[in-house]
Amino acid sequence: MSTPLELVTTAATSIVGAMATNAWDHIRERCVALLHGHLDEETGATAVARLDDQQQMLVATPVAAREALTDYVTQDTARVLEGMLKSSPEAAESLRALREEARSATASGESVVSDVRVENVRAKGDVVVGGRDAKVEKKR
């Protein structure tokens, strides 16, 4: 089971990854339902408008220059999702479902998320990392 921070981070990454793909229209509708279902009307509308603006910026940005914008949009989306979970903890299960749907919808499409880096993590016991290009390094 993931922590709320892990959930919002991975969900934001999956949602932003869908923004520049053919899957965006479907994922956007799922985002709209989630945000309107768990935020008040004004906050939900503001969050959806922000997603729409950011998606348009991503699509208008040349692929070679998207990385910095993608990082910003992912962080901003994670903040919105974190706020939603704080005000409506029961949204966690719906957010997990959206995350998985966004991941599977973009699995065959082009994703704008090119690099996810996690640093300064301390773990006791086994750590399992999966993915096509996963690289794990141990530094002391």
User: Tens digits of per-residue pLDDT, 104-132?
Assistant: 877 655 444 444 566 666 666 666 666 66
Q: What is the pLDDT of residue 113?
A: 43
User: Which positions of the chain have pLDDT values less than 70?
Assistant: 1, 107-140
Q: What is the pLDDT of residue 114?
A: 42
The pTM assigned to this predicted structure is 0.73
DSSP 58-75: HHHS-GGGHHHHHHHHHH
Q: What is the pLDDT of residue 111?
A: 41
Q: Supply the Cα-derived Rg of the chain in whole angstroms.
A: 15
Q: What is the pLDDT of residue 126?
A: 67
Cα(50)–Cα(78) distance, integer angstroms: 12
For residue 25, how many C-alpha atoms fall within 13 Å in the half-sphere facing its CB?
1
Cα(36)–Cα(66) distance, integer angstroms: 28
Residue with tokens 């750590």: 127
Q: What is the pLDDT of residue 127?
A: 64
Single out the residue of 82, 77, 68 nearest to residue 112, CA to CA.
68
Dihedral sign from CA coordinates of 21, 27, 31, 113? negative
Enumerate the H helices of the chain as residue ranges. 4-18, 24-38, 41-60, 66-87, 92-106
Q: What is the pLDDT of residue 105?
A: 77
